[in-house]
Amino acid sequence: MATIEVSAGEIPEGARILRRPSLNPIPSTPDKRAKINVRRAGKYPRVEWGVLRYPMAAVVGGGPSTSRQLDTLRWWDGDIFAINDTAKYLSDNGISCYLYAIDGTEVPFRVGDGVRGAIFATRVHRNQFRQMEKMGLPILVFDLAEEDKFKGIEGGPTAVCRTPHLLLRMGYRGVTYFGIDGSFEGDTTHVSGHSDSAHDNMLIIRAGGVDYVTHGGFMLQHDYMARIMKKHSKYLFNASGGVFGAMLENPNDWEVIAVAEDLKQKFDKGGDHTWNKRYEGGYTWQQPEASSIQAPSRSDYKA
């Protein structure tokens, strides 16, 4: 049972205590099912690693701010990776993209005519592969660190969290993040459609004096991504709004002010993942020379 920890070590008298729960998510795909999926994915070609081979990539989530960034994405000069059902939303709005997923759900993700192919973790269910094959689209796969501790992709608990390690190792000059807001606007949970599961494990985060309705999974995702983006600020850029943007701008001043009861029941206490771990056999990712890498300058990035 997860609890909100409000003290650690010596706390100076009069100091403000930030309330941040320590959570460890339960994997959505059982180990037995994941192993079956990994075995079946063995026949597909794998992503290739490189250094500075491609221009800036865009990773797009289903947060409400995505709807305000469509013009920017239509003119994006590089590959766009849409997370799960966001692929259909972008396609319906005239934006070509690749479907990107790591989840083992059996329900096929929503796609459209603008989807150019897919990059899947090997633990993705075969129904996703079948859908791409029926559309005649190319598929590339990669292992998560859970499958290959030496060469697999490290990161936090969500698909977003694996993209920095994956795309930079593939050779993209950087990654800009759209629509990974991690908070809800009214009844809108995702631009691609309402998700009932988004209302599980809900909590409220206060950042920069504003309260955001979100859930535990997003808190873990954004805490992880904020730290990684600070560490690799020459390569990772934010164009998202919501609680994620607020946590980036207020890294030392955000806290959880309310937690739903089910959150305490579904999460275990624990730590989080490392990111840039050392691999055996020369697979350690090295930061390339960043002198030629510039942060995006489009004025409409602010969500």
Q: Where are the domains of the chain?
A: 30-180, 198-227+240-268
pTM score: 0.80
Residues 149-208 pLDDT 10s = 888 999 888 899 999 999 999 999 999 999 999 887 666 555 545 455 555 677 888 999
pLDDT score for 18: 62
Mean pLDDT, all residues of the chain:
79
Rg (CA), the chain: 19
In this structure, are strands 57-60 and 175-178 parallel, antiparallel, or unpaired?
A: parallel
Q: Which of 50, 62, 96, 98 is CA-nearest to residue 76?
A: 96
Total number of residues shown for the chain? 303
Q: Are 152 and 167 in contact (CB under 8 A)?
A: no
Q: How far is CA 133 from CA 117, 137, 153, in A?
A: 9, 6, 24
Token readout for 283 is 């697979």
Higher pLDDT, 272 or 57: 57
Question: Cα 138 to chain center, whole Å?
Answer: 22
Burial class (CB in 10 A: 0-12, 13-18, 19+), 236: buried
Higher pLDDT, 296 or 279: 296
Residues 209-225 pLDDT 10s = 999 888 777 888 888 89
